């Protein structure tokens, strides 16, 4: 039995009834019930075919507008429900889209449009990377060296052959919340002159003092000597008080262990300007290059080393005795020379850089 009739067929049936044909005969011929016929008559009576088509088109358009209005109202309700949520990351936007689909029965296309996320990104499921070993090692290194940033830790991981790309290290570093907070000193921005960097090992050394105190308040000093080319810490002298003669003897000892430098940069402290240092310089034929008073930037290599030494060693320990202080300082020097990556050396350790340079 035919289930659908065109407007022409319906209007022709109504006109047959108006011409005198019985309703039962029309219903039997078309295979419909009398109720259907009377519904047709109440809707299409007095209309021509073109008017009936226009009425049907208007009804379809009206239904479409109602459906669109309902969808828009539903979208507005959905947006009201998620307006309080902070949406920044793509993962947050994907979560909002899923919320709209589940709670308001919106389509995936509409939910993605409202949450400003592409359907490709919404359907993407990240693959878990096998970085468990790297993650555990990074946490261990961060606990062992709490003042290292991610680039320093990346240098250590790269030396162990665990990573190659620093972006991977940074991702895990931030996911584990290992960021080091540093308070930078406010200072006037001034143009900096480029430092003259030596071209070979033992061409130029730098030296300077760092002061600290024991747990009982007793102060001690550390003399740091660094090779400006390889950034290697040539030696450290730790003592309660250090005179010019002690500095001269210590430098002679370092020269016996290594090659003699052409010059040594230092400030104008009394130990460096003493007669003992003057005669030592003449006898050993090593030039002492004194910086201008009040300009420590002219001795930047050892000043930079002093900052790292204080931040990573002195500030991390509470020394009770001089023996303990010497032990921890010697331990840090070995780590600095052989393990610690240096940003100016392409994140190689000073000893490794010196080997490659040789």
| Tens-digit pLDDT string for the chain (358 aa) | 345 777 777 777 777 777 778 878 888 878 788 888 888 777 777 666 566 667 676 677 777 766 666 566 666 666 666 655 566 688 888 888 887 788 777 788 888 887 888 899 889 887 766 788 899 999 999 988 888 888 989 999 998 989 889 999 999 998 888 887 766 666 545 555 566 888 899 999 999 999 999 999 999 999 999 999 999 999 999 999 999 999 999 999 999 998 899 999 999 999 999 999 999 999 999 999 999 988 888 999 999 999 999 999 999 898 999 999 999 999 999 999 999 999 889 899 999 999 998 7
Residue 221 in any domain: the answer is yes
Long-range contacts of 71-78 (CB under 8 A, 24+ apart): 71/110, 74/104, 74/105, 74/106, 75/104, 75/106, 75/110, 75/114, 77/104, 78/103, 78/104, 78/106, 78/111, 78/114
Query: Which residues are registered as beta bridge partners of 120?
Result: none
Look at the chain and report how many structural domains it folds into.
Answer: 2
Q: Considering Cα of 242, then 246, then 247, then 251, what sign does the dihedral take?
A: negative
Tokens of 164: 């190659």
Q: Taking the model in full, what pTM does it have?
A: 0.60
CA dihedral 271, 277, 278, 283 (to 10 degrees): 180
Provide the residue range defining the domain that includes 274: 204-357
Tell whether 210 and 154 lie within a shared domain. no
Tell whether 210 and 352 lie within a shared domain. yes
Tell whether 157 and 241 lie within a shared domain. no
Tell whether 231 and 351 lie within a shared domain. yes
Residue 58 in any domain: the answer is no
Tell whether 167 and 226 lie within a shared domain. no
Q: What is the CATH number of the domain that holds 229?
A: 3.30.420.10
Tokens of 258: 């290594």
Of the three residues 121, 156, 175, the one that is the final residue of a domain is 175
Tell whether 141 and 220 lie within a shared domain. no
Tell whether 227 and 350 lie within a shared domain. yes
Tell whether 153 and 270 lie within a shared domain. no
8-state DSSP, 283: H
Element (H, E) at 199: none
Tell whether 295 and 243 lie within a shared domain. yes
Residue 70 in any domain: the answer is no
Tell whether 240 and 328 lie within a shared domain. yes
Of the three residues 175, 191, 226, the one that is the final residue of a domain is 175
Residue 346 in any domain: the answer is yes
Residue 104 in any domain: the answer is no
Tell whether 210 and 262 lie within a shared domain. yes
Tell whether 143 and 271 lie within a shared domain. no
Residue 15 in any domain: the answer is no
């Amino acid at each position: 039995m035919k289930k659908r009739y065109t407007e022409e067929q319906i209007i022709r049936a109504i006109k047959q009834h108006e011409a005198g044909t019985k309703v039962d005969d029309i219903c039997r011929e078309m295979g419909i019930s009398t109720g259907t016929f009377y519904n047709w008559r109440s809707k299409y009576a007095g209309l021509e075919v073109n008017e009936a088509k226009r009425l049907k088109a208007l009804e379809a358009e009206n239904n479409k507008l109602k459906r669109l209005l309902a969808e828009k109202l539903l979208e507005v309700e959905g947006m009201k429900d998620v307006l309080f949520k902070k949406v920044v990351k793509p993962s947050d936007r994907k979560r909002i889209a899923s919320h709209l689909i589940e709670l308001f029965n919106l389509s995936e296309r509409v939910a993605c449009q409202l949450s400003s996320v592409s359907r490709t990104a919404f359907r993407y499921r990240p693959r878990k990377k096998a970085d468990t070993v790297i993650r555990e090692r990074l946490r261990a290194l961060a606990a062992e060296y709490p003042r290292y940033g991610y680039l320093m830790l990346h240098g250590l991981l790269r030396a162990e052959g665990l990573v190659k790309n620093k972006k991977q290290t940074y991702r895990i570093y931030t996911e584990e919340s290992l960021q080091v907070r540093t308070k930078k000193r406010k200072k006037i921005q001034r143009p900096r002159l480029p430092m003259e960097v030596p071209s070979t090992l033992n061409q130029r050394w730098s030296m300077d003092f760092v002061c600290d105190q024991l747990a009982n308040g007793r102060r001690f000093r550390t003399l740091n000597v660094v090779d400006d080319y390889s950034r290697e810490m040539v030696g450290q002298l730790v003592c309660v008080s250090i005179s010019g003669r002690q500095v001269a003897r210590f430098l002679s000892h370092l020269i016996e262990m290594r090659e003699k430098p052409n010059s040594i940069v230092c400030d104008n402290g009394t130990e460096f300007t003493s007669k003992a240092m003057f005669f030592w310089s003449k006898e050993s034929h090593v030039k002492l290059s004194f910086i201008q008073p009040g300009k420590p930037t002219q001795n930047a290599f050892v000043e930079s080393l002093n900052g790292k030494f204080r931040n990573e060693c002195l500030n991390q320990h509470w020394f009770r005795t001089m023996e303990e202080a010497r032990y921890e300082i010697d331990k840090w020097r070995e780590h600095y020379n052989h393990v610690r990556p240096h940003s100016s050396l392409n994140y190689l350790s000073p000893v490794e850089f010196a080997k490659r340079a040789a």
